Amino acid sequence: MATRIPFGPQHPALKEPINFMCEVSDEKVLSVRPRLGYIHRGVEKLAENRTYNQNLYLIERICGICAFAHVTCFSQAVEEILNIEIPSRAKYIRTILAEMERIQNHFLWLGDVGHEMGFNTLFMYSWRDRELVLQLIENISGKRVNYAMNTIGGVRRDITSMIMPSLKEGLNHLEERAKYYTEMCTKDPTVLRRTVGVGMLSPSDALELCAVGPTIRASGIPRDVRADDPYAAYEEIPFKVITYDGRDVASRLMVRLDEVLESISIIRYALDNLPNGDVRVRVPRRVPKGEAVSLVEAPRGEDLHYVRADGTEKPVRVKVRAPTLANIPTLCKMLIGENIADIPVVIAGIDPCIACAERLVFVDTATRKRWMWNKQELRKYATKWYRKK
């Protein structure tokens, strides 16, 4: 007898609302139907009604975790339409931040997958280490998440020689931790029992269902936008595309952990070879008629932005395809035949970010935000704070 078990929209294994209707018989999953749309905010529609500069901040808020990837992607598209080349120092800084974001995302994910396996100790440890990356990012940009570093035509803040030593020291510590986790995840018997052979995805299925990011790389296919369609400074920085052939959650775990190490070496290289010069160029407010497709390897996989401009201050169309949406068909495929107990681990295995996948339509014009200060008070506070400094 098959029972239908809803997995979400409210479920402790899912940090964000999405619904998978699983048909289950004897603890085995027979079929899965995804249903999205619980947190649609209408970002694409909103973007058509905002100027390019305002859109930067809107796009940054698509997702709190891969915010930088989205903004980089959007600014690249607009820069392409404007036909401007950003300074190479800006390119390097974008690369550094993108890789830092990858590290923090992968640590976050490691903790999350640990939690789904009931291994809360791993969760506590890796999130504590993630805090260190966030601090490094705060050192550079002034914020822990949604860094507001990118702008059309470059980046807003420079990496000064003053913070270089602390960055390098932080990287050393992170490398040590990443190696520790790699060793732990390859040796701990309970982790292995819960991940090896779970959520299998064959390479042909992965290709057919258009999987992206670590999910497809764990099936042995080296698809990585950084290598296939290099952006920012990736053309000049040597790095390996990590692949594993295990096709299961354990491989996805290893791909991500190795990527952390790879990211650390990319950041080191970029810091050592940081070119001198400006970090941004001035750009006009109006963007000429044109269109551009921009791809970025977000921590979770390929992120696509399509922008069409018509010569005004506002875009005609901004299309965002976050990596999670691309991985949902593969996820449904992976879940079939799995144990109920493995559903959370498999879902966590693709590193879903529902807020990313859903950003269309629903326009809520009523603001329910509650501010401690209104705008003037906030400004007053800010000036006072800066004067004190």
Site for other proteins in 314-353 (CB under 8 A): 316-317, 319, 321, 325-326, 328-330, 339-344
The edge-to-edge listing of strands for the beta sheet with 28-35 is 3-7, 19-25, 28-35
Helices (H), the chain: 43-48, 52-60, 67-82, 88-116, 120-141, 164-187, 189-195, 203-208, 213-217, 225-228, 249-272, 323-335, 343-349, 354-357, 375-388
Residue 128 touching other proteins (CB under 8 A) = yes
Which C-beta is closer to other proteins: that of 200 or that of 271?
200
Nearest 5°: CA angle at 179, between 173 and 184?
A: 125
Binding to other proteins (CB under 8 A): which residues in 285-314? 290-293, 295, 302, 304, 306, 308
Binding to other proteins (CB under 8 A): which residues in 24-43? 27, 34-37, 40, 42
First to last CA, the chain: 69
Using CB atoms within 10 Å of the CB of residue 132, give its burial: 0 to 12 exposed, 13 to 18 middle, 19+ buried. middle
Binding to other proteins (CB under 8 A): which residues in 172-211? 188, 190-191, 193-194, 207-211
Least Å distance, CB 318 to other proteins, is 10
Q: Among residues 42, 17, 36, 70, which one has the least CA distance to residue 360?
A: 42
Least Å distance, CB 174 to other proteins, is 17
Binding to other proteins (CB under 8 A): which residues in 262-281? none
Least Å distance, CB 45 to other proteins, is 6
Q: How many residues bind other proteins (CB under 8 A)?
A: 72
Rule CB under 8 A: choose which of 74, 107, 125, 269 binds other proteins. 125
Least Å distance, CB 389 to other proteins, is 33
Print the binding letters for residues 226-245 with other proteins: x by CB under 8 A, - otherwise. --xx----------------
The radius of gyration of the chain's CA atoms, rounded to the nearest angstrom, is 21
Print the binding letters for residues 139-158 with other proteins: x by CB under 8 A, - otherwise. --------------------
Residue 360 touching other proteins (CB under 8 A) = yes
Rule CB under 8 A: choose which of 11, 156, 240, 314 binds other proteins. 11
The edge-to-edge listing of strands for the beta sheet with 290-298 is 290-298, 301-309, 317-321
Least Å distance, CB 374 to other proteins, is 24
Tokens, residue 140: 């550079």
Least Å distance, CB 211 to other proteins, is 8
Which C-beta is closer to other proteins: that of 268 or that of 344?
344
Which C-beta is closer to other proteins: that of 6 or that of 64?
6
Q: Among residues 305, 312, 306, which one has the least CA distance to residue 289?
A: 312
- Alpha carbon distance 75, 51 (integer Å): 13
Residue 117 touching other proteins (CB under 8 A) = yes
Give the residues across from 295 on adjacent strands.
Answer: 304
